[in-house]
Amino acid sequence: MKTVTEDRDGILLDFIVGEAPVFLLRVDPRGNILEASRYAASLTGRDLAGSPIGSVFLDFTTPEDVLTAGAGEKGTIRLNVNTKSGLPQSLLFRFIALPGETLILGRPDAMELEDMRRQLVALNNELSALTRSLHKSNAQLARLNALKNQFLGMAAHDLRRPVGVILSYAEFLSEEAGSRLDGEQAGFLDKILAAADSMKAIINDFLDVAVIESGKLSVDLSSVSLAELIEAVLPTARLQARTKNVEIEAEIEPSLDSVPVDRLKMEQVLGNLLSNAVEYTGRGTKVRLAARRNEDRLLFSVRDQGPGIPADLREHLFQPFRKGTIRKSSGEKSTGLGLAVSRMIVEAHGGRIWVESEPGSGAEFLFSLPLTTALKNP
């Protein structure tokens, strides 16, 4: 018949093995684990019964090393356990020699756990402070961006009228009195017209950026003749190209008929790309505009024979106000807005725009659009 003490000891042992957060191992003289507590199995992520004791600890390689080190310690010894997470965890162990086996008892270091808890609380507080600061900064950036868009819109709107007046009177003067001007005077007038037209394009870009970034950009898709779309942008581009003796070629795949686009906005994209190509290409060269079918998409490309674009500049070309070191062949500066506006319009159509270029080999700007309208020869 069991005594009360034996019953008590049995209950305590069952509790330690099955429920208590105690790392308990029973090890035979050869260093093989006979039994492990549930806490030990949970921490290591495996059933330890039958495993060599050396596989549990990172500090030793053989079971003999573990038992020898533990037997030499009268108090506790700190050992690193190989956990299921792959990260070592240090526990305080005691080795108790019993007849025919060794009992190994381990527990977390209370002071170490408390220090870890304090560090965790401190990190959590720091993270919360950083999160609040980030939210505050984002809100401030949003307000500044809104103010910037408002300023751009107001400034561009106020500038559009006087520039329009200059352009109108210059055109009127050219038509009415152009034949009575000498060569130098006609040249001056041409420069006034070119400068006013360039300023008008810049103002329109500012207005476009303000509208697009405010989230008000919308596209009105309709079936547009591809040939008519391209013919609409060629006269202005060729007029600009004539001053540099640049030839513009256009090629459309014969099978293409109409495309689903916002006509005015797509004319703006093509006009921007052709204008850039003319500005950056050399005198007496060619600019080539092409449109072809690429599976279920329409692919436009505009290639010039300019200096090309270095790789470190290509990734920033389509960002507003980002300008590279490549200068126009005429030496003029650029606002860097035309390509940014083109990207936003193309993406609003569900398309993608990119550039392919190598220094010294010109540049080719390409963009693709969904092609869902009928083709002449599908």
CATH of the domain at 328: 3.30.565.10
* Same domain, yes or no: 83 and 139: no
* Same domain, yes or no: 232 and 182: no
Structure confidence at residue 376 (pLDDT): 40
CATH number of the CATH domain containing 117: 1.10.287
Structure confidence at residue 353 (pLDDT): 93
CATH number of the CATH domain containing 21: 3.30.450.20
- Residue 378 within a domain: no
* Same domain, yes or no: 357 and 282: yes
Structure confidence at residue 18 (pLDDT): 63
CA–CA dist 306, 326 (Å, integer)? 10
Domain, as residue range, for 254: 222-370
* Same domain, yes or no: 93 and 117: no
- In tens digits, the chain (378 residues) has pLDDT values of 444 444 555 566 666 666 678 889 899 988 899 999 888 988 899 899 999 888 888 877 677 777 777 666 566 788 888 888 888 888 888 888 888 888 888 888 777 767 778 888 888 888 888 888 888 888 888 777 666 666 665 565 566 677 777 777 777 787 777 677 787 887 788 788 777 777 777 776 666 666 666 666 677 888 999 999 999 889 888 888 888 899 999 999 888 888 889 888 898 899 889 988 998 888 889 999 999 998 888 999 999 998 888 887 887 888 765 555 455 545 454 556 778 888 888 998 999 999 998 888 889 999 999 876 433 433
Structure confidence at residue 241 (pLDDT): 87
* Same domain, yes or no: 170 and 200: yes
Domain final residue, candidates 196, 213, 230: 213
Other C-beta atoms lying within 10 Å of the C-beta of residue 181: 14
CA–CA dist 1, 174 (Å, integer)? 124
Domain final residue, candidates 213, 231, 259: 213
Structure confidence at residue 325 (pLDDT): 45
Structure confidence at residue 377 (pLDDT): 38
Domain final residue, candidates 195, 213, 231: 213
Are the C-beta atoms of residues 279 and 285 closer than 8 Å to each other? no
C-alpha distances in Å from residue 330, one per residue of 26, 100, 145, 278, 325: 87, 95, 33, 10, 14
- Residue 375 within a domain: no
Residue 317 three-state SS: coil
**Model-wide pTM > 0.85:** no
In total, how many domains does the chain have?
3
- Residue 48 within a domain: yes
